[in-house]
Amino acid sequence: MGTGHSVDSPIRVAHLGISSVISIVDDLLLERIRKHYSNEFNLPFNSIARNAPDGRAVRITAYLDMVHEIVNKKFEQVKQASFHTNSEKDRYFGMLASDSPLRTLWENLPQFLNSNDYNAASQRLNEALVPGSIDVNIMSKVDHLGWDSTDMPLSSEFSDACAALRGFANSVIESAVVLSAGFNPRLYGYMSNFPGFYRDATGNMKKKIVLKVSDFRSALIQGKFLAKSGLEVSEYRIESGLNCGGHAFYSDGKLLPSILDEFKAKKSDLTAQLKPMIKAFYDKMGWEYPESVMTEVPRITVQGGIGIHGEQQRLLKEFEVDGTGWGSPFLVVPEATCVDDATMQLLINATVDDFYLSKVSPLGIPFNNVRRTGSEKWTADRVGTDKPGSPCPKGFLKSNTEFTDKPICTASTEYQILKIAQINESDLPHSVKSQKLDDVHAKVCLCDHLGNGSLIKLGIIKEKQGPQAICPGPNLAWFKGPYTLEQMTDHIYGRGESLVPQHRPHMFAKELEMNIDYYERLVAMSDPDDPKSQKYLATVRENLEEGIRRIQELANTAPFSGENLESLKHVKLQSLQVEFA
């Protein structure tokens, strides 16, 4: 969802029981939005200077504490509202799943109006009210370590990821940190400094850990690393490698159905192997680890490309996951996300071909993107000038030391001037030079541009002051919006008319298509005389063929409501020379 588009989602929807995730990569963005909402809700605001001691962590804590206060105020208003008066309380229960006993009780409440059962039913509903969780996301590998005023490297606890974690840990919110984008031993080890990540005598954890993982092996390795320090993972969030928003992490040809099958088969291993390690740590520390939680299993959830109720049912029933995540479709739900009007209209009008895997990320990782954003236009206008690229106002993605001792960003003007000169002075063929220059010019200042849309939407800056980037998954091409929260939740739960056409390809079909396309790119770039390269291609192909066999099985099952299984039979497979039966 980027740094800005869900930055205030809890303020918008948590009082309605909807959980969301705030990126805490950009503490400078959080500070500007904290000022805005402090003014809107008449809360005290004291600016935290960019060079304040431990400023990054302090800004993040201040923002999360403010969000918590606003959510609690709005939630108290929900609790005080009357039933069946078109109140926010009615919206809360009306957006629950169709098979929710609470929704059924709320629907039937008017029948009890003149009976002794009314008070009991009302009390039960009121006691069931719970605000949505205010979760946060840290990209583990976005962990730049800066320098102090004497030009000495800062100590490791002041790295970007560790400081962000500290900001979350010191906040009043009781929720989860979602760790994504890879394994960072420094960050994971640092978590043991904060008591909130450990259970108290009752078994409660104030701060929970959610890991985004690509496969079961990754989940087990990371889980074991944390378990050695007594830290436990509350949820493993499986994300489709390419069929998602933001950075796309290729999973070596492993397709989601095969990955989910393995989690389904081995889920108990996450408890059997990790719980004894966690308890051993508690015993060593002289802490109590309640016997009641020894058999407690982590949640297994999945996200990336889900677009219709039938696909969600497939994931819940066939693969037995505990929950699903819907991200990109909410970008066209203004009540839920903070998207500026121009970008919103761009998303609504975009076609399937407008959504693509791009090279814009300074990290060199494929990045799901949409054409003709403000960011794309701004970046293109600087090509050929004496200042290509970006001034690099925030520096969160500094990682390149090709020309400098200290890391710089590949989207920065400093790097691009040096790199362009190197390419132009080389003896490479013209066509190769041209491609390399295009790759340099493609890089975008994601640190800044992903947050600008929220600043524009909230009226903090003008549209011309901030180029807007956005990172939707390709699934968004089928959602035309804008939609209300009720329209989107009805769609998710299979109520009423679908928001997407029947011919929309199945999420597994899109994932397979993207993986085949990526495999073809790998083949084109590989060296046929390099044994290591060819061995890797063989592994990818083997994973793809295994996934295809599983998809063939699914294609011949009975569909869930609205599930386009027929599309699974029509994905191009020429490069693998495989055909569906």
CA geometry: angle at 160 spanning 328 and 193, to 5°?
105
Three-class DSSP category at 22: strand
Q: Which residue has the tokens 């819940």?
A: 316
| Boundaries of every domain in the chain | 334-487
In one-letter notation, the amino acid at residue 278 is: I
Rounded to the nearest 5°, which phi and psi values hold at 137?
-120, 135
Encode pLDDT of 113-156 as tens digits. 888 889 999 999 999 999 999 999 999 988 888 887 777 888 89
Mean pLDDT of the region 419-430: 96
Q: What is the pTM of this model?
A: 0.95
| DSSP H/E element including 175 | strand 175-180
Which alpha helices (DSSP H) does 405-530 contain, by range? 413-425, 430-442, 446-457, 485-492, 507-525
pLDDT band at 581 (very low <50, low <70, confident <90, very high): very low
Which pair of structure tokens corresponds to residue 144? 């730049």
Mean pLDDT (the chain) is 94
CA 563 centroid distance within chain: 24
Rounded to the nearest 5°, which phi and psi values hold at 74?
-65, -35
Encode pLDDT of 488-535 as tens digits. 999 999 998 999 999 999 999 999 999 999 999 999 999 999 999 999
CA distance 526 to 563: 37
Mean pLDDT of the region 548-554: 94
| C-beta separation of 50 from 33 below 8 A | no
Which pair of structure tokens corresponds to residue 416? 């691009």
Q: What is the pLDDT at residue 570?
A: 81
| pLDDT(580) > 70 | no
Q: Which residue has the tokens 């004894």?
A: 276
Question: Which among 222, 302, 298, 224 has a CA at the least distance from the CA of 261?
Answer: 302
CA distance 511 to 204: 38
Encode pLDDT of 400-411 as tens digits. 999 999 999 999
| pLDDT(282) > 70 | yes
Q: What is the pLDDT at residue 151?
A: 78
**Helices (H) and strands (E) in the chain — how many of each?**
21, 9
Encode pLDDT of 16-58 as tens digits. 999 999 999 999 999 999 999 999 999 999 999 999 999 999 9
